[in-house]
Chain A
Amino acid sequence: MSQTTVDQVTEPGYTAARDRPPTGTTGPWGWARANLFSSWWSTAVTLLLGYLILRFAVSFVAWALINAVWTVPFSPQGVPNTAVCQNAKGIGACWAILPDKYRLILLGRYPYDQQWRPAICVVLFVTLYGISAMRQFWRKELVLIWIGTLGAVGVLMWGGVLGMPLVTEDQWGGLPITLILATFGLAAAFPLSVLVALGRRSTSLPAVKMLCVLYVELIRGVPLVAVLFMASVMFPLFMPDGVNIDKLLRAQVAFILFTGAYLAEVVRGGLQSLPKGQAEAADALGLSYWKKTGFIILPQALRMVIPPLVNTFIGSFKDTSLVLIIGLFDLLTMGTVALSDPPWQSFSTEVYLTLAVIYFVFCFAMSKYSRGLERELARAHRR
């Protein structure tokens, strides 16, 4: 460290050496001194926590990597012999369950030879997220891309056309279910929430306003589990005989209504934080209500609520796992199903850890992206 510092100072043309802060206050060492070892008390805490973290890390690496069992022998009938794993239990992880069960966990009970279809759907979803995240694609065509992609997902999952055999929704499961619920859910709940938030602030349409207030307060007053139960158990009772709306669709609608109510309140917060003068200026220019809302109010209001919006998005993404209670097989449920296979029964840690990583990747991507977006928008339009 000190060697390089001297080199820099004596470099020809480098005359600002005296303007630099004293050695030891910059760089990683300076940072550590200021933040970790500023007093004897802070040093003690740093050392203690450092020790604990290190110990945890060492034992985790030992369990997850060094002592882990990667493969187990299979009997000619395809039954795994997990004796090695049983012996290693508590000392090493049994990752052998993943190669055996990953297709069941990720793609559910979809017909095995057709599983390329849900797999493509997952790729389509991730590509769609990627494209939507890039600002150069923020044009009208993006809506068409969304409609096209979601339509393609429907065709691939159901089939029945283009030589693909029909696969009904009760055979769907795993990651596609989670992504379908979350993507269709947020894609529909977000516009719904904007309309509800605008309706709730309407001064000229008291009936619409009351309807919006009623919707938000009713839905927010009950847990998602209850809404899902209502959609799955109570709703069919009110339908005429012979009309049978699919369970997945009912869950999807329940999910949209639930998320929409929460998002509506977030959007309303944004609308309220906008200075009144903005709407007045738009009015004075003769802009109609929808043009005023679309060009002036919403772009500013939504920008202000990116953090709570993404917060709700992330929460909703994870809430999709609650469809387990009405018998839909989302990613988390499929993990549980995989563990019900007797030889693997005692290796839940490995499966749930893997599932946690999958959920984390999606949620962290959202969170990371929203922070980047906030920074970018703030830089462009600093007031």
Chain B
Amino acid sequence: MSQAVHNIPHMADTQAPPAIVLDKVNKWYGAMHVLRDVSLTIAEKERVVVCGPSGSGKSTMIRCINRLETHQEGHIIVDGTELTDDTRALDTIRREVGMVFQSFNLFPHLTILENCTLAPIWVRKMPKADAEELAMNFLTRVKIPEQAKKYPGQLSGGQQQRVAIARALCMRPKIMLFDEPTSALDPEMIKEVLDTMIQLAEDGMTMVCVTHEMGFARQVADRVVFMDRGEIVESGTPLRMFEDPQTDRLKLFLSQILRGH
């Protein structure tokens, strides 16, 4: 992981090729229009936080990026490869894009270590010993190396989510997607997961994160994207978005979020 030590503000970083391009993406569930002309370009090493009320399409959008959901119109280009029905292109992209889910989705029948080594061994064709060493490295980074031999069911929610992050990192992805990673956690466990994510952001990982944690957004995000009713309403730096919201919808959303906290 040869990340830059300095974190350049990425809005200015125009030379680097974009990591993710969404171009006029549309998606329907039956008659329901869940993504409306969503266009978004994310630069390499950029950290983007996506927020918005529930049902705004933010989860759907992030799930389109590694094709857990398929879009019906528009183009999605990830790491230079366009997402189509071509399964080989999809395999390439999924290898480069890690994902962390709201409900952790660890494999309950495998130990923590096996959870982390499965994909490197079978997708990356890494020798088992190397994969285990790598996994222990990442488990140490998320501060739970001592749990390696346990099963997911024996861990707390916060620990499970940190394992899920380590599992995704073991594939050495270029991009990490987080789909509400702290929403299913008890309050006292949210911090340990956010700390892990902050550390990851500081290492220069390209991150797209759907979350309502505004503190996290303020601290690490280069850009905040606000979605409502399937479209991107407003985007900008966290400071600008939170201090000076331009649209009524964002103002309303922020007031609701702040009241809730």
Contact = CB atoms under 8 A, between A and B. Distances in A.
Contact of B91 (A288, A303, A383): A288
Contact of A284 (B66, B103, B108, B152): B66
Contact of B94 (A283, A291, A382): A283
A217 interface: no
A249 interface: no
Contact of A277 (B105, B123, B152): B105
Contacts of A299: 109
A299 B114 CA distance: 14
B68 A286 contact: no
Contacts of B101: 277, 280-281, 284
Interface string B143-175: 000000001111000000000100110010000
A378 B68 CA distance: 30
A296 B68 contact: no
B28 interface: no
Given A380-B151, A382-B153, A286 B108 contact: no
Nearest to B167: A285
A296 B114 CA distance: 11
B99 interface: yes
Nearest to B124: A286
Given A283-B94, A286-B91, A381 B108 contact: yes
A288 B123 CA distance: 8
A63 B133 CA distance: 70
Interface residues of A, number: 22
Interface in A316-356: none
A295 interface: yes
Nearest to A296: B107
B95 interface: yes
Given A284-B99, A381-B153, 18 more contacts: A277-B105, A278-B105, A283-B68, A284-B94, A284-B101, A285-B118, A285-B168, A286-B91, A286-B119, A286-B171, A288-B91, A291-B123, A295-B107, A299-B109, A300-B107, A381-B108, A382-B151, A383-B108
14 contacts: A277-B101, A278-B107, A281-B106, A283-B94, A284-B97, A286-B91, A287-B123, A288-B91, A288-B123, A291-B123, A295-B118, A296-B107, A303-B109, A381-B108
The 7 closest A-B pairs by CB, nearest first: A281-B105, A286-B94, A285-B119, A277-B105, A383-B153, A284-B99, A286-B95
